Amino acid sequence: MTELLNVSGLTITARVARGDLTLLDGVDLAVGRGEVVGVVGESGSGKTTLARAVVGLLEKNVRVDGGSISLADERIVAPGVERTDRVRGSSVGMVFQDASRSLNPLLKVRAHLAEVLRRHVRGIGKDDVRRRSVEVLEQMRITDAERVLDSYPHQLSGGLRQRVAIGLAVVTRPSLVIADECTTALDVTTQTKVVELFRSLTDELDIGLLFVTHDLMLASDLCDRIAVMNGGRVVEQGPAGQVLDRPRQDYTRRLLAAVPTWT
C-alpha cells in the first residue's frame, strides 16, 4: 500500500491567557492510498486540531513545536515550515462538520464547483468545468445532477448538502480526503448512506481517507484502521477489528463501554 500521509511526532501548542497549552503531543499517524483511517476520541482529544493541521487551518495563536506532516513524501508542515497552501484543495480535500456553513447561501451549487475547479485546476476550460461538475455529482450518487447544480444550498436536504460538500472535496481529484465529524448533523439513515459513499469513493478513486469522528459505530463500519486520541496523544491504534474488539488501553475500553448499543 502506497503511503500518502505521514504524521510523525507532531506537537502543537496554543498560546492562551494562562500560558502555553499543548494540543497535540508527539502524534504519529499514517494513511495509505485506498485506505480509511479513523481518528476517534471524545471532544477536546485533539482530533480536529490534527485534521486542520494537515490543511493549514490552525488558529493564529497555534504553532507547530515539533514533528512533521508529509504528503506523498513532501514535508508540508514542521516547525518553521508551512507549505499546506500547495496541497490544500488540490491534493487534499476537506469535508467539514456542517455542510451548510461550507456552502455560500448566495451561490448555486454550479458556482461552488466552478470556483473550486478554477482555483485549483490550472488551465481548465468552461466545458471541462461543466462536465466535471456533472460527473462529480453523479459520483456522489445524485441522480438529478442538473437540478442540484442549479439549486441554492437551502433548496437541498441536509443529506444532499453533505453530498455536495463531499463533491467539492473530491472534484479536483485529490489523493487524500479529510472528513472532520461530517456526519454529526445527519440522521442515522443519512449517516449510513454517507459512510457507504465514502467507502465506495475510497475504493473507486483509490484515495486515502482520514475520517475524524466521535462515533465508534460509524468508525467500525467504515475504517480499515483506527487511531484513538486522548489528551492530544494517540493512545492506541491498529486494525479496526483489533482496536474495537480487543482494545489494549483502558481509555479505549471506556469509550466502548459508553456506546449503549455496542456488543
pLDDT at 189: 87
Strands laid side by side in the 81-82 sheet: 19-32, 3-16, 62-71, 74-78, 81-82
pLDDT for the residue 246 = 94
- Residue that has been written with the C-alpha cell 499517524 in this structure: 29
Average pLDDT over residues 179-198: 88
Residue 178's pLDDT is what?
97
pLDDT in tens, 189-202: 888 888 899 999 99
Given a cut of 80, whether residue 185 has pLDDT beyond it is no
Asked whether the predicted pLDDT for residue 188 surpasses 90, the reply is: no
Please give the pLDDT value at position 97: 84
Question: Could you read off the pLDDT of 117-133 as tens digits, one per residue?
Answer: 999 999 999 999 999 99
User: In the chain, where are the structural domains located?
Assistant: 98-173
How confident is the model at residue 100, as a pLDDT? 79
pLDDT of residue 102: 83
| Band of residue 261 on the pLDDT scale cut at 50, 70, 90 | low
Residue 186 has pLDDT above 90, yes or no: no
Strand ranges, E, within 72-141: 74-78, 81-82, 92-95
Average pLDDT over residues 101-112: 93
Query: Where does the pLDDT of residue 227 fall: very low under 50, low under 70, confident under 90, or very high at 90 and above?
Result: very high
Q: How far is CA 184 from CA 130, 137, 209, 222, 223, in A?
A: 31, 22, 17, 15, 17
Q: Across the strands, what pairs with 180?
A: 212
- Please list the alpha-helical segments (H only) found in 55-102: 99-102
Q: Residues with Cβ < 8 Å from 30, sequence gap 6 or more? A: 3, 5, 6, 7, 37
Assign 183 a pLDDT band (cuts: 50, 70, 90): confident
Q: Is 40 helix (H, G, I), strand (E, B) or coil?
A: strand
pLDDT of residue 147: 97
For the chain, give the percent of residues with pLDDT over 90: 84
Identify the pLDDT of residue 121. 93
Q: Would you call 24 helix, strand, or coil by DSSP?
A: strand
pLDDT tens digit sequence for 134-167: 999 999 999 999 999 999 999 999 899 999 999 9
Asked whether 192 and 204 are in contact (CB, 8 A), the reply is: no
Q: Measure CA 148 to chain center.
A: 23
